[in-house]
Structure 1
């Protein structure tokens, strides 16, 4: 591809570029041996060890035996829709300092991919419960009509944020809006 423009972007092989976005690091393990076969150059920033200290070694040498023992039981196949379950854990760095990470583990053919993100101060409490999160997702993919989707969305947003009232508007081209869904924790009187 010599010319890059909007017409050629859809043919860009983004899964083969060989780079990760700067807000994350990646380690790819052999799925059967857990030996690191690929590591992004920025792993030091996220897991405290540069790629040359990771490659060719069992991941247990980096994240510890206890964390590594959890990998076989972790849901490595994305659920529907393609959601990866975040894994929050910590391990001792090379200098003994605890390192807290947020990781999105998943399988890609013969590899287990560990995507490390900059950890937030902590996940929102509601997202720590896998069953609750899956319930939200299933509520959002069920509706066949816009109004059902809007009703479910308003209810979920109110539950997650703790707001007393959430309204969803549909705006017309003339910028006038109408409420198409509402969720409230109070009983409204007419």
Structure 2
């Protein structure tokens, strides 16, 4: 079964990050840009992250400079800018291409499993959002205009569909796990 777990991507500090590290988490993957008119969504994304991070949710920001050159920054300068201006704490990756011959393989995968505006696979602008369930499968794609705060119900639904393992004390003091 294919999933996003087969992909790696460099973080903004150039460390290679395997998405397989995120198995069991619900993810929102977003192509971002610091100078985009939608960049205020970074604050709303951070609120979602803070609200659900302890429930197995995270956000992955993939800066992109393909749309009106809205991401002029490079490397750690991107993350520093996002932290300074939007107080974000979720992962920020190096800039990627989301369309064209140099599209990052993760975005090729995401686009091949969904369609956007007018049933087109191409990403049309910054802040396109992809919701991925805890099994690494794409659940939905959202347009740049979709406000992060409107995603509470779908995020909650994804989080509730994941079995939670709770420790319990078995006889003889041995710990075991029980599915909720």
TM over 0.5: no
Higher RCO (CA 8 Å, separation ≥ 6 residues): 2
Larger gyration radius, structure 1 or structure 2: 1
TM-score normalised per structure 1:
0.27
